[in-house]
């Protein structure tokens, strides 16, 4: 293995995690209990600190609710914080997730649009529970909402409520029996278009990044979305093997897009927390930060 690819590997997997702090690395994809993660912002920051991460972004699904608490915790811990969210969108019939970074969490249009999608999520939970009930499984929608205890509930909350009620043993069982696409309680979700998501993020002063492209079949859409203003690609992700990450870094370089990365940690939901397993090199994080600052300056100037 060449020294270069060895570096790249530790950048992705962070083999030095065993007790050696590598401050300066960033994890720009994290979920808290404000969406389907299990950690509080405080717990995420404590773990980030333990892993020696120098910058963290909170990217809960369709919400920026946890960002204030996370910003406070990061400031206390001496970690840089990036306000974020992960928007579920679609393009040419394919679902794709767009990460928003450096958005103004109080931007009126952003808040209005994401609250619409929070209502869509809540309605979807009711429909999924109704479908589960039709199968003779007595799950209560209110129990799902009580367990989720957030505005942006999702399928993992239904799965956890099934386990809590003793109706399933594991998350995998809940998804296999009921919740996976094509299973009897799967309900399609209304999504915003990826082009609208990019525009929404930009008008809120942020940068739009395609999340985990390796999990979607949307590579051919990347040039088109780049033309529409997409700012970056999440090249490093827990589910991207090395070869996939390298392919997307190449892709990003060719299209002059930013390179980002994150663990997509959802807390303890799948046993072992992922925070600390994907580390984005400081140079990529600095470029993202600089691009966001440039953008803010040019927007301010344009408004003067």
At closest approach, how far in Å is the CB of 214 from Zn ion? 11
**What distances in angstroms separate CA 93 from CA 14, 77, 190, one per listed residue?**
35, 42, 12
Tell me if 211 contacts Zn ion by CB under 5 A.
yes
At closest approach, how far in Å is the CB of 50 from Zn ion? 21
Among 43, 62, 65, 264, binds Zn ion (CB under 5 A): 264
For Zn ion, give the closer residue by CB, 98 or 132: 98
For Zn ion, give the closer residue by CB, 62 or 264: 264
Among 33, 49, 91, 97, binds Zn ion (CB under 5 A): 97
Q: How far apart are CA 103 and CA 110, in angstroms?
A: 9
For Zn ion, give the closer residue by CB, 43 or 264: 264
At closest approach, how far in Å is the CB of 96 from Zn ion? 9
Strand segments (E) across 24-106: 25-30, 53-58, 80-91, 94-101
Tell me if 191 contacts Zn ion by CB under 5 A.
no
Which residue is associated with the tokens 């929404």?
Answer: 200
At closest approach, how far in Å is the CB of 35 from Zn ion? 8
Nearest to 232 by CA among 251, 246, 247: 251
Q: How far apart are CA 68 and CA 2, in angstroms?
A: 42
Interface with Zn ion by CB under 5 A: which range of 43-51, 66-74, 85-93, 236-244? 85-93
For Zn ion, give the closer residue by CB, 97 or 141: 97
At closest approach, how far in Å is the CB of 211 from Zn ion? 5
For Zn ion, give the closer residue by CB, 10 or 216: 216
At closest approach, how far in Å is the CB of 99 from Zn ion? 8
At closest approach, how far in Å is the CB of 212 from Zn ion? 6
Q: How far apart are CA 81 and CA 68, in angstroms?
A: 10
In the chain, the largest separation of any two C-alpha atoms, in whole Å, equals 62
Task: Locate all alpha helices (DSSP H) within the chain, ordered by sequence.
Answer: 3-13, 41-50, 67-77, 108-134, 141-148, 155-164, 171-174, 194-203, 222-227, 242-254, 282-303
Q: Hey, what are 246's tokens?
A: 């390298």
Interface with Zn ion by CB under 5 A: which range of 128-136, 166-174, 188-196, 260-268? 260-268
Nearest to 233 by CA among 192, 280, 267, 276: 280
Tell me if 33 contacts Zn ion by CB under 5 A.
no
Interface residues toward Zn ion, by CB under 5 A:
86, 97, 211, 264
């Amino acid at each position: 293995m060449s020294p270069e690819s060895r570096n790249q590997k530790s950048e992705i997997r962070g083999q030095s995690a065993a007790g050696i702090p590598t401050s300066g690395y960033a994890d720009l994809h994290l979920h808290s209990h404000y969406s389907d993660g299990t950690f509080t912002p405080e717990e995420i920051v404590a773990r980030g600190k333990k892993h020696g991460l120098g910058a963290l972004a909170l990217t809960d699904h369709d919400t920026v609710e946890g960002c204030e608490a996370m910003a406070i915790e990061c400031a206390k811990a001496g970690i840089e914080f990036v306000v974020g969210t992960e928007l579920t969108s679609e393009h040419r019939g394919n679902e794709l997730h767009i990460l928003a970074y450096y958005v103004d969490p109080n931007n009126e249009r952003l808040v209005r649009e994401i609250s619409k999608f929070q209502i869509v999520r809540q309605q979807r939970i009711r429909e999924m529970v109704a479908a589960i009930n039709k199968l003779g499984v007595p799950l209560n929608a209110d129990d799902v909402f009580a367990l989720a205890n957030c505005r942006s509930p999702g399928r993992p909350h239904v799965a956890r409520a099934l386990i809590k009620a003793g109706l399933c043993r594991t998350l995998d069982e809940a998804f296999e029996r009921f919740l996976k696409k094509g299973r009897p309680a799967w309900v399609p979700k209304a999504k915003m278009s990826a082009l609208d998501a990019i525009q929404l993020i930009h008008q809120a002063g942020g940068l739009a990044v395609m999340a985990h492209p390796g999990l979607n079949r949307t590579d051919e859409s990347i040039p088109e979305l780049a033309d529409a203003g997409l700012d970056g690609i999440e090249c490093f992700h827990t589910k991207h093997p090395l070869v996939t990450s390298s392919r997307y870094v190449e892709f990003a370089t060719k299209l002059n897009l930013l390179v980002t990365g994150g663990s997509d940690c959802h807390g303890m939901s799948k046993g072992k927390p992922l925070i600390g397993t994907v580390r984005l090199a400081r140079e990529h994080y600095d470029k993202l930060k600089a691009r966001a600052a440039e953008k803010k300056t040019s927007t301010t100037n344009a408004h003067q």
